[in-house]
Amino acid sequence: MKSAVIVFPGSNCDRDMAVALEAATGTKPHMVWHRETELPEGLGLIALPGGFSYGDYLRSGAIGANSPVMREVKAAAERGVAILGVCNGFQLLTEAGLLPGALLRNAGIRFVCRDVPLTVASSQTAFTSRYQADEEISIPVAHHDGNYFADDDTLNRLEGEGRIVFRYAENVNGSARDIAGIVNEAGNVLGMMPHPERMIEPAHGGKDGRRLFEGLVEALA
Amino acid sequence: MKTRVHVTLKNGVLDPQGKAIHHALETLGFDGVNDVRQGKLIELDLDENVTDAEIEDMCRKLLANMVIEDFEIEKEAA
């Protein structure tokens, strides 16, 4: 399967994401600079990596969400291409309007960087087919602005439609309803603050993140 | 034309930075501070022909995130 990683000025998890995608797909992903106005043809998956695009100026993800390539990412999302946004990628997806809500400064103000227990809230998505519902997994977080916020109507809708995919078993940033990751209505766009690409081999401390990539590749095959 | 855009968090949106400032003011011995909210001030130098509607559009599309923030436009008297 062909995949791509979008690279912004200030992305810093793009290469980790590329390693995870290559491990899962068997092919090196295309690394696409954010100024590009076209995406490679035939992509099955586009990843928006973690980092600090544009130094988090204005708001995390706000400037990058208006980069030229994002128009193509939006069009791909509408065609049903799987989009995975991790950390800054999640912030970019909310700023771009591909996912509802916003990521606020962590409630405790501190940058949080450690492994965090998550609960798989839905195993019914293309991203989570290799997990059991309600399974607890461990994935690292590393963010300052991960406090998920949306109004009550939006939160109720996300909950009612089964679109909350991961919840913090230990809420490290104040996120509404312990939300760590959500999907869009069509289910092909996932945004999550924790970093599955940093938990794909035993040397990372576990392989709980690897199943996300493997399950996704299987679901998209 | 100088125009100032004030961006503030909506009521009810948690502002941990405002809380930290509030706490620091109390630590400094300032009494009577009931609450602190932190916002942003963005100064724009605009051509005369930029319309109010365009400034609003700038705010909605980029300067403020309407999910969590409100904005107020203040135009400097010519």
Instruction: Please list the active-site residues of A.
Output: 87, 195, 197
Indicate which CATH number applies to the domain containing A194: 3.40.50.880
| Cβ pair B68:A149 closer than 8 A | yes
Q: Which chain B residues have a beta carbon less than 8 Å from that of A175? A: none
Q: How does DSSP assign A10-44, residue by residue?
A: TB-SHHHHHHHHHHHHSSPPEEEETT-SSPPTTEE
CATH superfamily for B2-75 is: Phosphoribosylformylglycinamidine synthase subunit PurS (3.30.1280.10)
Overall number of domains in chain A: 1
| Cβ pair B14:A62 closer than 8 A | no
Q: Which chain B residues have a beta carbon less than 8 Å from that of A149? A: 13-14, 67-68
Scan residues 18-37 of B and list those with Cβ closer than 8 Å to A: 20
How high is the ipTM of this complex?
0.88
pLDDT confidence of residue B78: 63
**Closest chain A residue by Cα to residue B63:** A58
B77 close to A (CB below 8 A): no
Domain coordinates in residue numbering, chain B? 2-75
pLDDT confidence of residue A51: 98
pLDDT confidence of residue B76: 86
Q: Which chain B residues have a beta carbon less than 8 Å from that of A58? A: 62-63
Q: Can you list the positions of beta strands (E) in chain A? A: 2-7, 30-33, 43-48, 82-86, 102-104, 112-120, 136-143, 147-149, 164-168, 179-183, 189-192
What's phi and psi for A194, nearest 5 deg?
A: -65, 155
Mean pLDDT per 10-residue section of chain A, whose length is 221 residues: 97 98 97 97 97 97 97 98 98 98 95 98 97 97 98 97 98 98 98 98 96 96 86
| Cβ pair A147:B68 closer than 8 A | no
Domain that holds residue A115: 2-220
A108 close to B (CB below 8 A): yes
Low-confidence ranges of chain B (pLDDT < 70): 78
Would you tell me how many other CB atoms lie within 10 Å of the CB of residue A186? Answer: 9
pLDDT confidence of residue A59: 97
